[in-house]
């Protein structure tokens, strides 16, 4: 497609006249309109790769603009489309003031704090009727869109609330953000309006983006919010255009030719103008319904396409908002209820591997213990070697750890900015760490590497024995994970220096799960496992690895070891399991 540059002109310039006329108002308006149309068409072609006009129509527009500038030379400016190469677009992040300040929100973190806010609002407004507008709090990047006479003229980041960075060209690449508003008879386009919203990176697209970055040798993003911010703050808008950013709008700032009496009416108008709004905003009648809404999305945080870290509650009536006013940083008529964090940072101390019951070798991260989503976590799966590379994590990294409700903890990615240079890359083992057998892929295209020694690999056996004890199998409560390890793989915790101590290796009492139901007490009398035990009787200070009896108490000079209570219960449950019908 032909696009005008400094070197080419599709229409020959007209012959100059003896007199150079001065551009009148009509010519200036025509020039401004043509220049804006051409810039938009160039942007669509060069940046978004989606041409919006034919070659012939584009050449006609350029020809008319060239003719105007030849006739009225004062119209020819350095930033005119006739003076710039068509594909030259870059974002400079120039600081620009918002027309109306973008305020922050105060936060509450539990129902008691939320109820205190409700009480303050209700006491302040007295008998005035109040409705509550609830919105999902998107964990994204706040952006302010300025539309003048329906045309998108500027997009700014929040910045400090008074001044943001100009990211107009990058925002124009975001799918769903119209360059021009469309009005209706009920909702005509205002003369001027600032539209506030959140730019976010869809959760499903995040993993794919990071995988591509790592494959290209680039640093991955720690989370979807960082991905959104990093994608929007690109000097080359073509990079932004290549990423599936989205935006949902939720409010209005400065405005001329538009007024509302309730905050929720802004949602109706925004949607009527062609802007993307959230389908989850609701107007509720009382605080009880608000609490129910908060509880619902607390359990369904992952049913929406974007990261969600809370619920925003606003007084819907504009008159009441004005009477409540604002503090120096936040409105008194709105609050953000923040859910407990599902993402925290911690240090990745090591990456180790586990061999499962089918021989699958799974790497997992060992981390500094950290509390997330209500529980303390020190380990998280990394699925396979490809997953480790895709996430771009190194041993020693500060990492982002995510735990959503009852979901297994997941390592999201590294915080690359905090690397100090001592971090090391993880290398998948070539031989089984439990039995020494060479690892292999089961078939071409597999991502999981396996130990083929199903018969005698102690790691696979302990996993199968533990599986037999599960509720879905024989339901043997006394046969927990540690007991399965003691029976099938008692040397799994053996320290590397044990060989130099002359400590012999302990042979497992089970070499097959088929022997589980023929075990006797005598078989278990000498079963020992490795434990970290205190060096002193007061059980304080440093620990040392020691092999201790598992199923029996420790023998003394005065009495032999005796079966532990759990050991006796294990044999009772094994006997019961023998009588269980196999089809239960």
Q: Which secondary-structure segment (H or E) carries 414?
A: strand 410-414
pLDDT class of 223 with cuts at 50, 70, 90: confident
Burial 153-189 (b: 16+ CB within 10 A, else e): ebbbbbbeeeebbbbbbbbbbbeebbeebeeeeebeb
Look at the chain and count its residues: 584
Please determine, for residue 11, whether its predicted confidence score (pLDDT) is greater than 60: no
CA 222 – CA 233 distance, rounded (Å): 16
Instruction: Work out the percent of the chain whose per-residue pLDDT is above 70.
Output: 90
Say if residue 1's pLDDT is above 80.
no
Top pLDDT among 352 and 79 is at: 352
Measured CA to CA in angstroms, residue 378 lies from 277, 347, 350, 351, 411 at distances of 39, 10, 11, 12, 11
Question: Tokens in use for 456?
Answer: 């005698």
CATH label, 1-89, candidates 3.20.20.110, 3.40.190.10, 3.30.110.30, 1.10.287.610: 1.10.287.610
Q: Where are the domains of the chain?
A: 1-89, 97-338, 343-450, 458-578
- Specify whether 137 is catalytic: yes
CATH number for the region 97-338 comes to: 3.30.470.30
State the chain's mean pLDDT as an integer.
86
| From 137, 314, 391, 403, active-site residue | 137
pLDDT tens digit string along 365-415?
999 998 887 678 899 989 999 999 989 999 999 998 987 655 678 898 998
The answer to whether 140 touches 198, Cβ cutoff 8 Å, is yes
109 versus 284: the higher-pLDDT residue is 284
Whether residue 335 is predicted with pLDDT greater than 60 in this model: the reply is yes
- Is the distance from CB of 530 to CB of 495 less than 8 angstroms? yes
What pLDDT score was predicted for residue 7? 35
Each residue of 173-208: pLDDT tens digit? 999 999 999 989 999 999 999 999 999 999 888 878
Predicted confidence at residue 406, as pLDDT, reads 55
pLDDT at residue 271 greater than cutoff 90:
yes
**Do 1-89 and 343-450 have matching folds?**
no
Secondary structure in 3-state letters for 537-559: CCCCCCEEEEEEECCECCCCCCC
Residues 564, 552: Cα–Cα separation, whole Å:
5
Contact 562, 552 (CB under 8 A): yes
138 in Cβ contact with 306 (< 8 Å): yes
Nearest to 434 by CA among 529, 503, 354: 354
What integer pLDDT is reported at residue 577 of this predicted model?
Answer: 85
Say how far apart CA 528 and CA 498 lie, in whole Å.
Answer: 14
If pLDDT is split at 50, 70 and 90, which confidence band does 41 have? Answer: confident
Average pLDDT over residues 554-573: 88
Does the domain made of 343-450 have the CATH classification 2.40.50.140?
yes
Tokens in use for 132?
Answer: 């509550």
Task: Render pLDDT for 225-261 as a digit per residue (tens, 0 to 9).
Answer: 888 988 998 888 888 999 999 999 999 999 999 999 9
Average pLDDT over residues 450-470: 91
Mean pLDDT within 269-289: 96
């Amino acid at each position: 497609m032909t696009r005008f540059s400094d070197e080419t002109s599709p229409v020959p310039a007209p012959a100059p006249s003896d007199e150079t006329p001065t551009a009148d108002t009509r010519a200036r308006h025509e020039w401004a309109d043509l220049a804006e149309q051409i810039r938009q068409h160039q942007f669509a072609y060069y940046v978004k790769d989606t041409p919006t006009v034919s070659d012939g129509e584009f050449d006609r527009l350029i020809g008319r603009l060239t003719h105007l500038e030849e006739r009225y030379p004062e119209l020819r400016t350095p930033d005119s489309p006739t003076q710039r190469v068509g594909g030259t677009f870059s974002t400079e992040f120039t600081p620009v003031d918002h027309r109306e300040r973008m305020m922050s929100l105060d936060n509450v973190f539990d129902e008691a704090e939320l109820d205190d806010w409700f009480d303050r609002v209700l006491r302040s407004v007295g008998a005035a009727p109040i409705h509550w507008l609830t919105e999902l709090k998107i964990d994204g990047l706040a952006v302010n869109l300025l539309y003048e006479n329906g045309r998108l003229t500027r997009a700014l980041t929040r910045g400090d609330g008074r001044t943001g960075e100009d990211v107009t060209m990058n925002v124009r690449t975001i799918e769903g953000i119209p360059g021009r508003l469309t009005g209706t008879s009920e909702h005509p386009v205002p003369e001027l309006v600032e539209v506030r919203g959140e730019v976010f990176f869809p959760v499903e697209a995040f993993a794919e983006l990071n995988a591509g970055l790592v494959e290209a040798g680039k640093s991955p993003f720690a989370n979807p919010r960082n991905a959104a911010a990093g994608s929007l703050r690109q000097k080359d808008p073509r990079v932004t255009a290549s990423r599936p950013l989205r935006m949902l709008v939720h409010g209005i700032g400065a405005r001329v030719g538009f007024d509302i009496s309730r905050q929720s009416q802004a949602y109706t108008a925004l949607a009527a103008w062609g802007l993307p709004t959230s389908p989850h905003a609701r107007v509720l009648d009382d605080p009880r319904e608000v609490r129910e809404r908060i509880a619902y999305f607390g359990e369904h945080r992952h049913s929406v396409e974007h990261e969600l870290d809370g619920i925003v509650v606003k007084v819907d009536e504009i008159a009441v908002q004005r009477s409540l006013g604002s503090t120096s940083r936040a409105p008194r008529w709105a609050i953000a209820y923040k859910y407990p964090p599902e993402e925290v940072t911690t240090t990745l101390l090591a990456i180790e591997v586990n061999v499962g019951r089918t021989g699958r070798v799974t790497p997992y991260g060992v981390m500094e213990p950290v509390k997330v989503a209500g529980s303390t976590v020190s380990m998280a799966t990394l699925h396979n070697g490809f997953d480790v590379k895709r996430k771009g994590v190194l041993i020693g990294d500060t990492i982002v750890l995510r735990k959503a409700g009852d979901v297994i903890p997941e390592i999201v990615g590294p915080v690359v900015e905090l690397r100090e240079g001592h971090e090391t890359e993880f290398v998948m083992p070539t031989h089984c760490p439990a039995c020494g057998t060479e690892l292999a892929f089961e078939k071409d295209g597999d991502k999981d590497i396996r130990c083929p020694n199903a018969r005698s690999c102690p790691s696979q056996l302990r996993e199968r024995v533990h599986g037999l004890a599960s509720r879905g199998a024989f339901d043997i409560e006394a046969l927990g994970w540690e007991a399965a390890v003691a029976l099938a793989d008692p040397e799994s915790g053996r320290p590397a220096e044990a060989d130099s101590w002359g400590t012999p290796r302990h042979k497992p009492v089970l070499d097959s799960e088929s022997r589980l139901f023929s075990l006797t007490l005598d078989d278990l009398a000498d079963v020992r496992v490795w434990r970290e035990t205190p060096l002193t009787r007061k059980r304080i200070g440093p620990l040392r690895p020691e092999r201790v009896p598992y199923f029996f108490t420790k023998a003394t000079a005065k009495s032999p070891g005796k079966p532990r209570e759990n050991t006796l219960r294990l044999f009772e449950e094994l006997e019961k399991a023998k009588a269980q019908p196999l089809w239960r």
